[in-house]
Amino acid sequence: MLGLQLPLLVVCAYQLLPGGQSRIIGYSNGFHYQDISNGDGNGEIFFNGIRLHVESPQPSVSATRGSSVTLPCRYRYEPELSMPRRTRVKWSWLPANTITTSLSPEALTRETEVMVAMGNRHRSYGSFRGRVRLRRSAPGDLSLVINELQLNDTGRYRCEVIDGLEDDSATVELELNGVVFPYYSQKGRYHFNFFGAQQACQDQDATLATFEQLFVAWEEGLDWCNAGWLADGTVQYPITVPRDGCGGLQLAPGLRSYGQQHRFLNRYDAFCFSASVKGAVYFLKHPTKLNFTEAVQACARDGSQIAKVGQMYSAWKLMGLDRCDAGWLADGSVRYPITHARANCGPPQTGVRSFGFPPLYQKFGVYCYR
Ligand SMILES: *[C@@H]1O[C@H](CO)[C@@H](O)[C@H](O)[C@H]1NC(C)=O
Ligand SMILES: *[C@@H]1O[C@H](CO)[C@@H](O)[C@H](O)[C@H]1NC(C)=O
């Protein structure tokens, strides 16, 4: 007796013969391929011991809103094949807002299709239609090119190759360079349910932040003692200096989480995420200060629009906008961006300073966006 036990894989497949009868091909060679279409009709298996590998050289990629990005992925056979084989390629996607902090098995089933390709034919789906293609710059290259990146394209992408019975996949995380900002309603603190928070961010040219985005913002120093919705339906807030009233002194710095909250009934602020804008935000040169109505009109007369809060934060974070003059923004708030803290321009940290929502008749400058 051999002291060695080989794992045996027994697979049976039905092959339809021209006569319409089916015949059972049984084999037990312990290898990975069962290839009926390429066989000689006698049920011979051609691909003994060959394995398919799908891999991505880069587990995560970060990009800029509005630009194009390439998510790297390639496949190969081991040992190498001399003849190309017909494969099916599928890119699917788990949007960042469905990647919850507690990884549930159900999250996997929430992946949706981005693109399917077979040979030269391919099809893209949903909001990716017409925006994606395979790069195919070398044999085995299945990298996905996405054009016109949108704020909500972030998440985990899966590249899958299906070859007969064998398939393998790899994942790539897509992140956007951007900025997280806390946002509350003109009507007051803790006013938004989840859907209101989603809308409020969108109105400010932003989207609800993901857990990862808030985490990065916290690492960069964001400290905010008001709880806000995140894209995954949890409510959290970032604390860098533990203190009473903000989770207490016993808790280490970090994100404080209230977990999943009721999306209709519970009300909080929002954490929004915005990323680089194509246009520019500028402080309008104007001889006098303006009330809110006049401010909106003055930007229009200048051929632009009053800036949104997300645009202001992007300009501050990504373009270094620095101006020590308070100005109206589109939501009726008054703010100014500081990248070089100095005397008489607020606290010693950099940031976008806010005067909240003053009465609309009060007079300030205005920030426009073009
Ligand atoms: C993503 O954002 C775009 C543009 O804001 C919007 O048209 C699209 O419906 C959004 N997609 C999803 C899946 O939310
Ligand atoms: C702003 O001032 C104009 C007059 O220049 C006035 O008609 C308008 O009602 C004022 N708007 C507000 C919100 O006070």
Q: Where are the domains of the chain?
A: 1-46, 52-176, 178-274, 278-369
Mean pLDDT computed over 218-235: 94
What letter does residue 80 receive in the DSSP assignment? P
Q: How far is CA 72 from CA 99, 146, 185, 283, in A?
A: 21, 11, 41, 41
Ligand 1: centre distance to CA 298 (Å): 31
Whether residue 234 is predicted with pLDDT greater than 70 in this model: the reply is: yes
| From 127, 129, 308, mutation site for ligand 1 pocket: most ligand atoms within 8 A of C-beta | 127
Q: Which homologous superfamily is 278-369 in?
A: Mannose-Binding Protein A, subunit A (3.10.100.10)
What whole-number percentage of the chain has pLDDT above 90? Answer: 69
pLDDT digits (tens, 9 = 90+) for 157-177: 999 999 876 789 999 999 999
Distance CA 340, CA 156 (A): 36
- Does residue 315 sit in helix, strand or coil? helix
How sure is the predictor about 44, in pLDDT bands with cuts at 50, 70 and 90? very low
How sure is the predictor about 8, in pLDDT bands with cuts at 50, 70 and 90? very low
Ligand 1: centre distance to CA 153 (Å): 8
**pLDDT the model gives residue 249:** 87
Of 3.40.50.2300, 3.50.30.30, 3.30.470.20, 3.10.100.10, the CATH number of 178-274 is 3.10.100.10
Ligand 1: centre distance to CA 107 (Å): 20
Sort strands 60-63 and 166-176 into parallel, antiparallel or unpaired. Answer: parallel
Mean pLDDT computed over 8-19: 33
Is residue 70 within 6 Å of ligand 1 at its C-beta? no
Do domains 178-274 and 278-369 share one topology? The answer is: yes
Mean pLDDT computed over 253-266: 94
Ligand nearest to the CA of 205: 1
**pLDDT the model gives residue 99:** 54
Mean pLDDT computed over 176-193: 96
How sure is the predictor about 29, in pLDDT bands with cuts at 50, 70 and 90? very low
Whether residue 94 is predicted with pLDDT greater than 70 in this model: the reply is: yes
Ligand nearest to the CA of 114: 1
Longest CA–CA span in the chain (Å) reads 99
Is residue 137 within 6 Å of ligand 2 at its C-beta? no
Share the mean pLDDT of the chain: 85
Judge contact between 34 and 12, C-beta under 8 A. no
Is residue 293 within 6 Å of ligand 2 at its C-beta? yes
**pLDDT the model gives residue 240:** 93
**pLDDT the model gives residue 15:** 33
Give the residue among 280, 326, 285, 288 at the shortest CA–CA distance from 307. Answer: 280
Is residue 77 within 6 Å of ligand 2 at its C-beta? no
Ligand nearest to the CA of 359: 2
**pLDDT the model gives residue 277:** 64
Of 2.60.300.12, 3.40.50.300, 2.60.40.10, 3.40.640.10, the CATH number of 52-176 is 2.60.40.10
pLDDT digits (tens, 9 = 90+) for 66-89: 999 999 999 998 888 877 778 899
Is residue 112 within 6 Å of ligand 1 at its C-beta? no
Distance CA 139, CA 76 (A): 9
Distance CA 125, CA 234 (A): 28
Whether residue 24 is predicted with pLDDT greater than 80 in this model: the reply is: no
Question: What pTM did the predictor assign?
Answer: 0.79
Question: Nearest residue CA, atom 7 of ligand 1?
Answer: 127
**pLDDT the model gives residue 45:** 38
